[in-house]
Amino acid sequence: MFEHLFAPIKIRDMELKNRIILPAMGTRMAAENGAVTDKLIAYHAARAKGGCALNIVEVAAVHTPSAPAHFVSISEDYLIEGHKKLTDAIHENGGKAGIQLWQGSIAACMDPKAQMLVVSDMNFGAYMIKAITKEQIQEVIACYGKAAARAVEAGYDCLEFHLAHNYLPHSFLSAGFNHREDEYGGSFENRCRFPLEVIDEIRKNMPEGMPLFIRIDAQDDMLENGLTIEDVIRFCKIAKEHGVDVLDVSRGNIITAASMYEVPPIDVPNGFNIDNAARIRKETGMLTVGVGRINTAALAEEIISQDKVDMVVMGRAQLADPEFANKAHEGRIGDIVHCVGCNQGCYDGFTDVANRPHITCMRNPMIGHESEYDLSKTETPKKVWVVGGGVAGMEAAKILHERGHEVSLFEASDTLGGEFLLAGEAPGKAEMKAAAFEMAEQVEKLVKVYKNTKVDAQMLKDADVDAVILAIGSSPITIKLEGMDKLQHASAPEVLRHEVCPKGKVAVIGGGLVGLETADTLATDGCDVTVLEMKDEIGSDLGSLRKIAVMMKLQQMQVKMLPNSKVCKFTEEGIVLEDETLVPCNCAVFAVGFASNDSHLLVEECEKRQIPCRVIGDAKSARRALDAIAEGFEAARTL
């Protein structure tokens, strides 16, 4: 099955058992000084054991003064020992190990102690950052070479030079960033000078038989005077002559809206960058890696079988399921836990430095805990009721079964999936609904499922049960306003499910994620839509990359968005705001949030019977699916 995806490939002296690559995604699992930790080793070992051919270790800093805290570093000799343990773990679990050599330029802003090196003078808030000097340029080039030598000593099988995303090397190459007037700026040849000197220095410190990859953007998006795909092809042909073997073709930068292409959310089409990679491959004659929302084995097989690329990056796919490659190879497609591009745990988790120590995954709370959490069979199996068949309840049921408990799952409706099903109703989010169905199929194979069964206190009173997990979800908040009898109105779920289909001018009350997806649905159906949000920010509950994608789409659809707009009353002409502004419409849609369903009678009955009881997910507090699934996992793990 998937014969092209699982065909071996040889690059110089390195042979990969298949075409699946775990890319150099930042995890923030390194120590403060950049040293490899046991947590990072376990994370990589799990994915190598899961069948991945090549693990490329994340954005490894080569230059100590500009290395942000908790980013992997290979900038000093004392760090080699940790990297050796990491490569040993990857090798022992059947994979090959690569490392991405990185100088992050303005990404150093994540650590106020790290030096920020920029190609040209740059305004940064209230400050002016001076351009890197020629002396510093030579210092950094030398650091790349020393880092390469350390990586070789540590046992890596290949190296990757990060030349994308407007980090320092890419900033030199692109006229959109490079405004220098010396030999490192101006002409195309001059702008190529720094990255080519780095490539030469890296190659000089590598064995002849070791492959060298570069990660490069297919083009500069949303950037004046940026690189075109023709520029990139021209550079890659030169880089080939300097010893580069493989092109890892990405997209995006970290200072414009194109940042959404670096970690593309669900709003960006699957495989959106493959045609660019295919063109670059064809015109350079180089081995090429396809990148960009490739999250199923079928899509990966299709891309490779059509001779568009030679290998594929499947990063978040292997966050969601570290056994992705093995399951796909064995044909166990129904057992795969697929990434849905939500970005809640990976990108949002990486950038949420204040609240999260490292990345996680909505679909896989084990990330970062591979060596800590024990999901082996319990010595004291219990009869457990899970009440509620949304994602929190289903996650709890799966983990309880894995740990050897006897599980019964009760769902009041006729379908498992809960709010995931609602999320999947919005345009472009069918993957959410598919994930809900996928999860339901997996759960129904494992535990007893009782649909159309609403558990009440009397059922609990008579139940033969040792523990209860309540995951009964939430319901849309309803509000009363003056004049509601004068204007058609509906709830966001009714519109998303097309139970109510407004026409003409429609106002959505609430500018959070649900409100914006409702606006998308209405605009797609041809309505003239206005979003009213009482706060000063639209989409405040979206992660940064999803927010970019969602807002761009709504703007293209000419959806009007009004922050600081508190609704006061309805009239026959429309909605009157607190400041007496009239928003004309013939229908209002409420998207003002969700409130937890009442579980106190069930909790009280459990307390009377002294049955351990946990309330999880939206039943505890209406939040993101990331939190709901994590609570389901944790409740089951610790029972």
Residue at 318: amino acid letter: Q
Secondary structure (3-state) at 363: coil
Crossing angle (nearest 10°) for helices 188-204 and 229-241: 40
Distance in angstroms (rounded) separating the CA atoms of residues 142 and 124: 27
For residue 519, is it left (φ>0), alpha (ψ between -120 and 50) or beta?
alpha
Alpha helices in 296-362 (DSSP H): 297-305, 316-320, 324-329, 347-351
How many angstroms separate the CA atoms of 406 and 24, rounded? 40
Helices of type H across 9-154: 38-49, 80-92, 134-154
CA torsion angle 287 292 297 303 (round to 10): -50
167 is catalytic: yes
* Vertex 332 angle, CA 327 and 334, to 5°: 115
Q: Taking the C-alpha atoms of 254, 256, 258 and 264 in order, what is their torsion angle to the nearest 10 degrees?
A: 50
Residue 9 pairs in a beta bridge with 16
Catalytic choice (167, 184, 261, 347): 167
Nearest to 166, CA basis, from 106, 214, 239, 238: 106
Opening angle at CA 467, ends 464 and 469, nearest 5: 120
Q: How far apart are CA 385 and CA 377, in angstroms?
A: 18
What gap in Å lies between CA 54 and CA 52, rounded to an integer? Answer: 6
Helices (H), 375-478: 391-402, 419-423, 430-446, 457-462
The residues near 222 (Cβ < 8 Å, ≥ 6 apart) are: 253, 256, 257, 258
* Active-site amino acid positions: 167
